[in-house]
């Protein structure tokens, strides 16, 4: 199957074999139509390679493999401890191959190599190991009703799970979904994002090496509107888990209605970060920077709306501007001192630039950036870290998700006003509060309409802690023990001990 892998040398000199096929039943196959996706290096706009793209027929094949695997004793009847061991072996293999995986992620996505290695790949290792530990700790309950009845619940797997992954954290988002799905005994058809198809294919080889039976995990690349839609609307898929934009999430929800799939959606956000007068200014500035400028601002929980109390507003702005200028080093993502690489694609780059134009035309004050960054190699999708101040609530840049190194800052007078404005959004994913007043921190945390609140930090998510949104930021939770609930049914068994008849 030599045509289903190519030997590549990445810009950092790492040489490896890149699979380019579809991974179905632990085998590499090409797509029935022969269609391909070309992956572009966002740093210099060169082509990396092309991979096969699935269409509906290929999705059917992957689903059939996953269905057969779900019924296969090799998976269905495996002891839960052995199931955990398989997932753990996968985690260990990811760690062993971390250099190549991080290299592919940086090359294909543009994120700094140190981030790909120490954050993304480390998170994959941690998440899989964490859920490996849960495999033999998924318990039902015994429910006491009366001496004549024994009632208990069994938490059984849902069946075949479709998982649709975004491009901002390709491997990590796959691990968030695979870990709990596998721990609970499901089988999976996973589709990577067409913008970043490469790392998941390398990961697929590790699945086979770990010893998973054929068909338990099937990995496809393909376009959202074709392969993604085929998964979301497939009659033999029991569950769909999606991370991506709110608009696509809404489409997926509609398609999933065809057979009432169980759904988990993690969608967009415009997460507020509130800085009160009594905050530790230095800490607020550092976390605010991490909260929006990390990963090129391509984070669904990015705290992209900063609201600062008026007593500290001017001071915050000048400290924040200085900190961004000195820390947000834009550059080649393979260089050690780079904090910010390119946006993932031309489309995303143009999207951010269009919001810059919108901010200017709506009359916000452009405090920094606001233009492409051309000093890396004259090419690539780089954008100068952008700060708008004096932003009004009705402006598009205050209301809409930009998904770039782009932040809006506004001032508020009172706690009530801050909460009112923080919650005046269709989204409800992340949020952050900076104050040294313990009571205020907890009070505000309760009143913020969001799935997650960081007190005196931002975006330090953790795979042991539930992650997800309210309002139009999603349905259900991933990560933590809560993440398991998305992958089991609770079956109730009623046993008559003494018949009343």
Out of 32, 72, 80, 245, point to the residue binding ligand ADP (CB under 6 A).
Answer: 245
Q: Kindly calculate the radius of gyration of the chain based on its CA atoms and give it in whole angstroms.
A: 23
| Residue 252 touches ligand ADP, criterion: CB under 6 A | yes
Residue of 224, 333, 369, 476 interacting with ligand ADP (CB under 6 A)? 224
Task: Give the nearest distance from C-beta 344 to ligand ADP in angstroms.
Answer: 9
Question: Smallest distance, Å, CB 109 to ligand ADP?
Answer: 12
Nearest alpha-carbon partner for 197 in 56, 52, 382, 10: 52
**Interaction of residue 62 with ligand ADP, rule CB under 6 A:** no
Q: Is 188 in the site for ligand ADP (CB under 6 A)?
A: no
Tell me the backbone φ, ψ of residue 177, rounded to 5 degrees.
Answer: -90, -40
Taking CB under 6 A as the rule, does residue 297 contact ligand ADP? no
Residue 82: its H or E element: helix 80-96
Q: Which stretch binds ligand ADP (CB under 6 A): 65-73, 224-232, 409-417, 438-446?
A: 224-232
Kindly tell me which of 84 and 166 has the beta carbon lying closer to ligand ADP: 166
When the beta carbons of 225 and 491 are compared against ligand ADP, the nearer one is 225
- Residue 225 touching ligand ADP (CB under 6 A): yes
Q: By CB under 6 A, is residue 244 in contact with ligand ADP?
A: yes
Q: Which stretch binds ligand ADP (CB under 6 A): 169-177, 247-255, 308-316, 378-386?
A: 247-255
Can you list the pairs that 5-12 forms with residues at least 24 positions away whose Cβ atoms lie under 8 Å?
6/49, 8/48, 8/49, 10/103, 10/104, 10/106, 10/107, 11/41, 11/43, 11/107, 11/332, 11/334, 12/103, 12/106, 12/113, 12/334
Catalytic hit among 251, 266, 401, 478: 266
Selected range binding ligand ADP among 58-66, 245-253, 389-397, 405-413, rule: CB under 6 A: 245-253
User: Distance (Å, rounded) from C-alpha 202 to C-alpha 25?
Assistant: 16
Question: Which residue has tokens 């230095």?
Answer: 282
Q: Are strands 262-266 and 239-243 parallel, antiparallel or unpaired?
A: parallel
- 3-class state of residue 366 by DSSP: strand
Interface with ligand ADP, residue 20, by CB under 6 A: no
Please name the residues in contact with 169: beta carbons below 8 A apart, sequence gap of 6 or more: 120, 123, 295
- Binders of ligand ADP in range 338-377 (CB under 6 A): none
Q: Residue 224 or 405: which CB sits closer to ligand ADP?
A: 224
Residue 334 CA to residue 108 CA, distance in Å, equals: 12
If residue 5 lies in a helix (H) or strand (E), which one and from where to where? Answer: strand 5-9
Q: Give me the residues paired with residue 164 across strands.
A: 191, 242
Q: Decide if residue 232 touches ligand ADP (CB under 6 A).
A: yes
Residue 447 in contact with residue 463, Cβ under 8 Å?
Answer: no
- Our finding on whether 166 is near ligand ADP (CB under 6 A) is yes
Q: Provide the 8-state DSSP code for 215.
A: T
Residue 266 annotated to the active site: yes
Instruction: Tell the residue number behind the tokens 């200017």, with chain if given.
Output: 360
Residue 336 beta carbon to ligand ADP: minimum distance, rounded to whole angstroms: 29
Work out how close the CB of 60 gets to ligand ADP at its nearest, in angstroms, rounded to a whole number: 16
Residue keyed to tokens 């009160």: 276
Q: Is 304 in the site for ligand ADP (CB under 6 A)?
A: no
Of 53, 165, 265, 444, the one binding ligand ADP by CB under 6 A: 165
Q: Which of 20, 22, 65, 164 binds ligand ADP (CB under 6 A)?
A: 164
Rounded to whole angstroms, the Cα distance separating 208 from 128 reads: 15
For the CB of residue 382, give the shortest distance to ligand ADP in the complex, in Å. 18
- Candidates 159-167, 205-213, 305-313, 390-398 — which segment interacts with ligand ADP by CB under 6 A? 159-167
Which segment (98-106, 121-129, 158-166, 423-431) binds ligand ADP by CB under 6 A? 158-166
**Range 400-403, long-range pairs (CB < 8 A, 24+ positions):** 400/270, 400/355, 401/245, 401/246, 401/268, 401/269, 401/270, 401/304, 401/427, 402/297, 402/304, 402/351, 402/352, 402/355, 403/297, 403/298, 403/302, 403/348, 403/351, 403/352
Any contact of residue 229 with ligand ADP (CB under 6 A)? Answer: yes
Q: What is the torsion angle, in degrees rounded to the nearest 10, for the CA atoms of residue 111, residue 468, residue 210 and residue 48?
A: -30
Interacting span for ligand ADP (CB under 6 A) from 90-98, 187-195, 204-212, 257-265: 187-195
Least Å distance between CB 269 and ligand ADP? 13
Q: Whole-angstrom Cα distance, residue 270 to residue 424?
A: 10
Measured from the CB atom, the residue of 51 and 422 that comes closer to ligand ADP is 51
- Among 67, 177, 191, 477, the residue binding ligand ADP under the rule CB under 6 A is 191
> Which span (175-183, 222-230, 367-375, 424-432) binds ligand ADP, by CB under 6 A?
222-230
Return the C-alpha torsion angle 317, 323, 324, 325, nearest 10.
Answer: 110
Quote the least distance from Cβ 405 to ligand ADP, whole Å.
16
**Contacts to ligand ADP by CB under 6 A:** 164-166, 191, 193-194, 224-225, 228-229, 232, 244-245, 248, 251-252
- Residues carrying an active site annotation: 266
């Amino acid at each position: 199957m030599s045509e289903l892998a190519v030997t590549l040398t990445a810009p950092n000199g790492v040489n490896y074999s890149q699979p380019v096929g579809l991974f179905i039943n632990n085998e590499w196959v090409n797509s029935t139509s022969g269609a391909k996706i070309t992956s572009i290096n966002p740093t210099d706009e060169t082509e990396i390679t092309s991979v096969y793209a699935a269409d509906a027929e290929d999705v059917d094949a992957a689903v059939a493999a996953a269905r057969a695997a779900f019924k296969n004793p090799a998976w269905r009847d495996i002891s839960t401890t052995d199931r955990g061991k398989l997932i753990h072996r996968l985690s260990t293999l990811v760690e062993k191959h971390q250099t190549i995986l991080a290299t592919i992620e940086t090359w294909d996505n543009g994120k700094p190599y140190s981030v790909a290695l120490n954050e993304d790949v480390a998170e994959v290792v941690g998440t899989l190991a964490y859920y490996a530990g849960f495999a033999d700790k998924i318990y039902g309950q015994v429910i006491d009703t009366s001496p004549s009845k024994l009632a208990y619940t069994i938490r059984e797997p849902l069946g075949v799970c479709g998982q649709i992954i975004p491009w901002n954290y390709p491997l990590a988002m796959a691990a968030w979904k695979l870990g709990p799905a596998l721990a609970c005994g499901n089988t999976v058809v996973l589709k990577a994002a067409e913008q970043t198809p490469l790392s998941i294919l390398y990961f697929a080889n590790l699945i086979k090496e770990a010893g998973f039976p054929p068909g338990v995990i099937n990995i496809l690349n393909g376009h959202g509107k074709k392969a993604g839609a085929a998964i979301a609307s497939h009659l033999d898929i029991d569950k769909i888990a999606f991370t991506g934009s709110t608009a696509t999430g809404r489409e997926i929800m509609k398609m999933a209605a065809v057979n009432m799939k169980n759904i988990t959606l993690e969608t967009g956000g415009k997460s507020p970060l509130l800085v009160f007068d009594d905050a530790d200014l230095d800490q607020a500035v550092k976390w605010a920077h991490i909260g929006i400028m990390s990963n090129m601002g391509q984070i669904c929980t990015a705290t992209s709306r900063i609201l600062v109390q008026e007593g500290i507003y001017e001071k915050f702005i000048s400290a924040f501007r200085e900190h961004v200028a000195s820390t947000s080093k834009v550059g080649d993502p393979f260089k050690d001192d780079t904090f910010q690489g390119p946006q993932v694609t031309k489309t995303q780059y143009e999207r951010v630039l269009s919001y810059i134009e919108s901010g200017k035309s709506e009359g916000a004050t452009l405090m920094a950036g606001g233009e492409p960054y051309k000093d890396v190699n004259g090419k690539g999708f780089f954008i100068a870290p952008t700060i708008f101040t004096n932003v009004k609530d009705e402006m598009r840049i205050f209301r809409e998700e930009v998904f770039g190194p782009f932040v809006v800052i506004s001032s508020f007078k009172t706690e009530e006003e801050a909460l009112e404005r923080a919650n005046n959004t269709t989204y409800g994913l992340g949020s952050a509060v900076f104050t040294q007043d313990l009571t205020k921190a907890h009070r505000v945390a309760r009143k913020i309409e969001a799935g997650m609140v960081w007190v005196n930090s931002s975006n330090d998510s953790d795979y042991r802690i539930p992650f997800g949104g309210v309002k139009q930021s999603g349905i259900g939770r991933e990560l933590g023990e809560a993440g398991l609930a998305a992958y089991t049914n609770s079956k109730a068994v009623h046993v008559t001990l003494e018949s009343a008849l």
